[in-house]
Structure 1
Amino acid sequence: MQNHSNLNDIGVIGLGVMGKNLALNIADNQYHVSAFDLDPVKVNGVIQQEKQERAGLEPRILGCANLTEMLASLTKPRILVLSVPAGAPVDGVCSALISAGIESDDIVIDTGNSLWTDTVEREARYKGQFVFFSSAVSGGEVGARFGPSLMPSGDIDAWHHVAPIWKAIAAKVDSSTGLPIERFEPGNPVTEGEPCTTYIGPAGSGHYVKMVHNGIEYADMQLICEAYQMLHDGLGMSAAEVGDVFKRWNKGSLNSYLMGISAEVLKQADPLTGKPLVEMILDKAGQKGTGLWTAVSSLQIGCPAPTIAEAVYARAVSTQKSLRLQLSQKLAGPNAPAIDEAQKAQLIEALESALYCAKVCCYAQGFQLMAMTAHEQKWQLNFAEIAKIWRAGCIIRATFLQSITQSYEDNAELSNLLMADSFASALSEKQGLWRIAVATAVMQGIPAPCISSALAYYDSYRCETLPANLLQGQRDFFGAHTFERIDTPAGEKYHLDWSAKERTLAKV
């Protein structure tokens, strides 16, 4: 909070949607903020918004004309929040700060969706000039304004300076139920409950965790979309009727922010035509890269994350609209069997179970990916704490995360969420309905890449023996890549001389 020198506590650089709302959130929590943007209109905009929201009260946001003025307005060590697009703009601001006279113990926090490896490089590059710190932010515009999920990483001493502000502005949850404590009132922030932020680890780890969060988000959204298409196209339900089903599901184990907003979207009428708005929206999905980065990372490290990858592919297929229009006239679909009312009720129940099971597998993939990368990077990630800070403020917030938290609190060394007794028993119990949902989608000719890939993931881990034995035989046949045997010590390699008249086995 404001110190005795009458200097401000923190600076925010970049006053777009996220930066402006972070500045207002910080000010709501009793801190004094210096604000700067290359566009003076945005500086004036945040000042005017604060005046409207805090009419008659002392302002806590100071607009700055340039970075030199901002640095002069802040208490030392200065804390500066960057809310600018990832990539070159981050380095552009850092260079400008160096020119403006930033000092070696000042802290610059990158809050954009930067690639985690860029963050690692920047911490090394700017060392000695200032402390480069990072904090991924999830929750969108509303989260930034009234409580986001924050994933900070980097210099631990910098975190100690930043922590009081971050804990104040973060989303809050009830510690006993894990449910969000929400209040969307300017000037009246939530101060009770557990804050949805924790120190993640060394440089880059926070942005990596946020990247995986976004990969899970891609998959979670696609899973819901597949359930919608199966109910709408397969069962002939209207968008509003599907919205009612989702609203009901949102009261149970599928309770989540994404399920709630999906129900709202489906029930919304188009103001122009009166038709369901969702049916007037072009079916071409955009992406900003974080889901792609997650899928690429999983491939690079060898961690199976098929549901996350399929979600990225689903968006890619959606962009091929003209080709889909052509092929829809050329490729035949199945003669789908009719579904009566009793089967309709069973399928709705099956889809609810399928969505839950696929969601578990999706999170299992994300957490295993974080664990494998942490091992490679020598990060000590606390997965119970990561699950905790996703319970509110972020896009994938869900009641479900309380169960994940409990699983990691019970066993911090859990190798995969499917190993947790609670999830293993739930998926074992619900798998029959999950299979009905996938089989129905196949027979109806409705694409369900994420729901079905999650089932394949479950079945793959359920298999003691996979056909990779044949695959290794193939590799040894054409490329002498060798193979291990089930009856010899691990690590011993063998090769069969496939081209010889009398094939002989040799230990390599």
Structure 2
Amino acid sequence: MSKGSYDFGLVGLGVMGRNFILNVTDNGFSAFGLDTDPEKVAALKQEGEGKPVDGTIDKKAFIENLSAPRKIMLLVPAGGPVDAVIEDLLPLLDEGDLIIDGGNSFFTDTDRRGDYLNEKGIYFIGSGVSGGAKGARFGPSIMPGGDQKAYELVKPIFEAVSAKVNGEPCVDYMGTKSAGNYVKMVHNGIEYGLMQLISEAYTVLKTGLGLSNEQLHETFTKWNQGKLKSFLVEITSEIFTKMDDKTGKHLVDLILDKAKQKGTGKWTSQNAMDLGIPVPTIDVSVSMREISALKDDRVAAEKLYESPAIPSVGLTVEDVEDALYFAFIITYAQGMTQLVAASKEYGYGCNLEVISKIWRGGCIIRAGLLEEMRKAFSKNNDLSSLLLDEGFASELNANAGAMRRVVGYSVAGGIPASGLSASLSYFDSYRSGRLPLNLIQAQRDHFGSHTYERVDMEGIFHTEW
């Protein structure tokens, strides 16, 4: 192809970047890549042989090969590397060119970069991309936010490369400023919660009910064919069949129980607190990863404390399925409520129906439940919580009994189930017209003269206790 004729540029040719750029070329667009590592450039050329794709380590050649206005996506680590690439490319760009940050950048960084580039006449989009390497190659869910005019420049490419559900692309404009990165952050927070809940269901089934790995595979496979149908349940079923090629044992049993994290779950939890929005299932999922890191302490503590006997009766596999479904709804509801609050606080203008729609395919938290969420927000896009939707209220009522049995069983048997417990506690608190926080207000007034309100008359009051 001739100079200046490539439709799309991508910086960062690691696994995600290489897969994404090849996806672009598979869908009718030409693309040019840039990386500082010659081996990654060579890998792109080799894998893209015969396709309208090329790459270089020369930033000037990279810019010269892109058609105007240039559309350049960055798939580099969040933080300093994003700023460094922007500064590197900026002198070579023209007014009206577009930079897209496709990484998991913190939303305030996106706002800062958008303001900075806008002053220089360069468009900027912060865009969440979910689906992992396979999604990048064959169809991710994409969450772009920023100037809507900027999104229109890349909309045909993003719609072509995204996952499709019923022929609908799993990409749409999320809102102004950093809306795209914020939506992706909450997506990841929900992901943390769902993964924690699945791990707790696994330990109840394995430690409590004594299911073998083969039975666990069968159970999760069956669940994925019903109301728990989702990407995370699907891959969980597959994990139980994987054998270790070194020992011949089930690989899942040989993996160290220390879960790592990249920070997006923590960001979700921290910002929810800033907004005054409770997301306890997400909070505890972050805490459990931190507790898991205390491996030496946990092994030592295990020797100090007695473990209660596992209850011999009173729970079924179906109970665990219903409880997990209940907790899934609660976790999605917490994340969606946070998005409602953030959209108002930051002026994003998010559409919750649209977000539910594009999460139905391509992304890690895709699940059958999301179509029901889309319908709920279609009926009322101002819905403050999914728990106030009659359809979801019916589902929660139908499964609450199983949830209480599973949590009670776990407590009695000393099985850690903090995510399930937090989900149930959130539900019980949310559905309570009166909470015992009147006592807390009395305490605050007693020790600090912080005042209180009354249920029987208007005004602010203080008592000399």
For residues 294 and 331 of structure 1, what CA distance do their matches in structure 2 show? Answer: 34
For residues 28 and 140 of structure 1, what CA distance do their matches in structure 2 show? Answer: 18
- After TM superposition, the runs of 4+ consecutive aligned structure 1 residues lying more than 4 A away are none
For residues 420 and 150 of structure 2, what CA distance do their matches in structure 1 show? Answer: 42
32, 35, 39: which is aligned to 1:34?
32
State yes or no: 1:372 paired with 2:364.
Answer: no
For residues 292 and 457 of structure 1, what CA distance do their matches in structure 2 show? Answer: 19
Give the structure 1 partner of residue 460 of structure 2.
Answer: 493
Residue 471 of structure 1 and its aligned partner are, at CA, apart by 0.4
Larger Rg over CA atoms: 1
Contact kept? 2:311, 2:409, Cα under 8 Å = no
For residues 294 and 319 of structure 2, what CA distance do their matches in structure 1 show? Answer: 30
Question: CA offsets per residue over residues 390-424 of structure 1, 9 Å max, x none?
Answer: 00100001111110001101111111001111110
Question: Which consecutive residues of structure 2, in runs of 5 or more, have no partner in the other structure?
Answer: none
Contact kept? 1:240, 1:276, Cα under 8 Å = no
Give the structure 2 partner of residue 161 of structure 1.
Answer: 153
Give the structure 2 partner of residue 223 of structure 1.
Answer: 197
For residues 89 and 3 of structure 2, what CA distance do their matches in structure 1 show? Answer: 22
Please give the residue correspondences for 1:50-69 in structure 2 after superposition, counting only pairs within 5 Å.
Answer: 50-51=48-49, 57=50, 59-69=51-61
Contact kept? 1:133, 1:158, Cα under 8 Å = yes
Residue 203 of structure 1 and its aligned partner are, at CA, apart by 1.3
SS of the equivalent of 1:267 reads coil
Please give the residue correspondences for 1:264-283 in structure 2 after superposition, counting only pairs within 5 Å.
Answer: 264-283=238-257
Contact kept? 1:14, 1:83, Cα under 8 Å = yes
Give the structure 2 partner of residue 459 of structure 1.
Answer: 428
> Which amino acid in the other structure matches residue 19 of structure 2?
N
Contact kept? 1:18, 1:141, Cα under 8 Å = yes
For residues 141 and 158 of structure 2, what CA distance do their matches in structure 1 show? Answer: 10
Q: Normalising by structure 1, what TM-score?
A: 0.90
For residues 312 and 405 of structure 2, what CA distance do their matches in structure 1 show? Answer: 15
Question: CA offsets per residue over residues 204-260 of structure 1, 9 Å max, x none?
Answer: 111000000000000001111000000100111112211211111111000001001
SS of the equivalent of 1:254 reads coil
For residues 273 and 324 of structure 1, what CA distance do their matches in structure 2 show? Answer: 26
For residues 373 and 123 of structure 1, what CA distance do their matches in structure 2 show? Answer: 18
346, 370, 377: which is aligned to 1:401?
370
Q: Normalising by structure 2, what TM-score?
A: 0.98
19, 22, 25: which is aligned to 1:24?
22
SS of the equivalent of 1:496 reads coil
Give the structure 1 partner of residue 132 of structure 2.
Answer: 140
Give the structure 1 partner of residue 87 of structure 2.
Answer: 95
For residues 82 and 267 of structure 2, what CA distance do their matches in structure 1 show? Answer: 19
Residue 65 of structure 1 and its aligned partner are, at CA, apart by 3.4
SS of the equivalent of 1:423 reads helix
Please give the residue correspondences for 1:177-256 in structure 2 after superposition, counting only pairs within 5 Å.
Answer: 193-256=167-230
Question: CA offsets per residue over residues 290-320 of structure 1, 9 Å max, x none?
Answer: 0000010111111010000010011111111
Q: How many residues of Structure 1 are paired with residues of Structure 2 in the alignment?
A: 464
Residue 495 of structure 1 and its aligned partner are, at CA, apart by 0.4
Contact kept? 2:23, 2:161, Cα under 8 Å = yes
For residues 202 and 378 of structure 1, what CA distance do their matches in structure 2 show? Answer: 7
Give the structure 2 partner of residue 190 of structure 1.
Answer: none
Question: CA offsets per residue over residues 16-69 of structure 1, 9 Å max, x none?
Answer: 111111110001011111111000110111110011xxxxx4x31122231111
For residues 443 and 267 of structure 1, what CA distance do their matches in structure 2 show? Answer: 30
